[in-house]
Amino acid sequence: MRSELQDHAARLRLQPLKLLATARAGDQPLEAAGWKISLARHFLDASAEASLLQHGADAALVKAGEDLFGGAIVNPSEDRPALHWALRAPARLTGEAETIRQSVLPALEFAGKIQTGEIRTAHGEAFTAVLHIGIGGSDFGPRLIADAFEDLAHPSIELRFAANVDPYDLDRAMAGLDPLSTLVIGVSKSFGTEETLYNLGRARAWLEDKLGDDAARHLALVTANPEKAKAWLGGRDAYTFDMPISVGGRFSLWSAASLACMIYLGPETFRKILNGANEMDEHVRTAPLESNAAMRLALLDFWNTSIREKPMRVLLAYANRLRMLPTYLQQLEMESNGKSVDSEGNTVSPPTAPALWGGEGSVGQHSYHQWLHQGSQDVPCEFILAPDFDRDSEGLDALAAHALAQAEVLANGRSLEEVRAEEPGISEAVSAQKVHAGGRPSTLLSHAGFGPEAFGALVALYEHRTYFAGKLWGLNPFDQWGVERGKTMAGRIQAVLKTPDKAADPVTAALLKQIF
């Protein structure tokens, strides 16, 4: 089947994207949980798309969905299911999935009590600040949520984040905060993450300096390893919440890992996010392959990366609320599928997960869009148009026009003849520089009523897309051995920082002498 797809790609490469897209302009967009998704501007036609769908059927994507929602072992290297979807299920489940569903409820209840003042500081006052400490999946998701819906936040609660082991990150986060009115939340699934424990230790000392033994009443810990957390507390009792072992860190924003956001935004807003994600889950669970948005986007990733061999994808979020989405998705997609060995230990022959980067439209238009339009590389782009339609109409109209214009120029380009006709009298040299090659494909996702529900649905869509893409490549999206190796080496190097001659690698030894 792959050779058949390669034949289609070779055939379509010779056709102008503008003509291919025009022929597909009348196709109905994919629809899922309020999102509409146009795939018209890609190097596909009916024949190629039929072969791509057949590839998805041969790869048993529908069965992969059944396995995920059925609680099967889909993380073979760790012998676990992946039950992040259970966190947003509205009704009772069975077995381990129900335990997962229940695990988020105490955090929502706690958040409500913080907001109402039922849970107070050690001195009986309301908490006015929350300091969230975590890294990776314990940071990106909560930070994305908080930034997206800052305008819905409780007016008397300030939220800060610290992730980096660089001391300035925590210094910056704590600047101006009063330990007497601050709740520190530490999130670490293993409760062994170096950066988090370093920052959490400093934050605890900051609390203890003013509160003494009462500092524990200003600490909330979210972890799958409560025994390690208890030992770290040294016998004191802090608020503790479960971070289920069957929920990967980069799939955990639905869990108590987002306790800070539940407090900041309120449990009801957070429940709306969960409800939107569940609506997308239901679409993915029940929609057939041909109309299943997550499966179709995964197949598109396979097409562009493994067949057309495009090593990147650029995400262009034309919604200020989603300005941090590219950063979040970098971890979700690149940590999940940034691999070249399959679950059986075999090298995967086609290129796998593309590098993902991007930013906020229209800000990026004054930065890297020049490279997208006229650079030497042809990179598939993904536009997300999801504004708040109750805001200033002039700005919203301009936002939509800019997004559509960028996609059109990327696809259709601008010929030398068009330049000469539109700008007579300019020199040949300048005329040539104004030519746009075109032929650069893009996807457009849009939503007519963006809010917490639409946000939840969108993130869940990307989660499922990542899972199905991993299946197409034969990868396990739920482990991350490359990350683990880096942590191991950091520990070894830390032990010889001040004795560089003991470093095993000669270049590392030389670099230590350079640095210190």
Report which DSSP code applies to 330.
Answer: I
Give the integer Cα–Cα distance in Å for 157 and 163: 20
Annotated catalytic residue 366? yes
Catalytic residue among 49, 333, 335, 382: 335
**DSSP, residue by residue, 384-447:** EE---TTS-HHHHHHHHHHHHHHHHHHHH-B-HHHHHHHSTT--HHHHHHT-B-----EEEEEE
Cα 249 to Cα 240: distance, rounded to the nearest angstrom: 17
Told to judge if 434 belongs to the known catalytic residues of this protein, a careful annotator would answer no
Which residues 6+ apart lie within 8 Å of 290 measured at CB? 53, 296
User: CA nearest 243: which of 233, 231, 229, 261?
Assistant: 229
**In 281-346, beta strands by DSSP E:** 312-318
Which of these is catalytic: 123, 422, 423, 487?
487
Positions of E strands within 94-198: 129-133, 158-162, 182-187
DSSP state of 75: B
d(CA 141, CA 7): 40
Whether 487 sits among the annotated catalytic residues: the reply is yes
Cβ atoms of 20 and 12 closer than 8 Å: yes
Chain centroid to CA 121: how far?
A: 34
Element (H, E) at 360: strand 355-360
Q: How far, in Å, are 187, 201, 235, 251, 305 from residue 120 at the CA level?
A: 21, 22, 21, 30, 52
Q: How many CB atoms lie within 10 A of CB 27?
A: 13
Select which of 344, 366, 394, 498 is catalytic.
366
> Distance (Å, rounded) from C-alpha 211 to C-alpha 122?
8
Cis, peptide link before residue 362, omega less than 30° from 0: yes
Cβ neighbors of 440 (< 8 A, separation 6 or more) are 17, 372, 373, 378, 379, 380, 381, 410, 411
Tell me phi and psi for residue 242, to 5 degrees: -85, 140
Residue with the two structure tokens 């990967």: 248
Those residues whose C-beta lies under 8 Å from the C-beta of residue 99, and which sit 6 or more positions away, are: 244
By CB neighbour count within 10 A (0-12 exposed, 13-18 middle, 19+ buried), where does 404 fall?
A: middle
As annotated, the active-site residues are 335, 366, 487
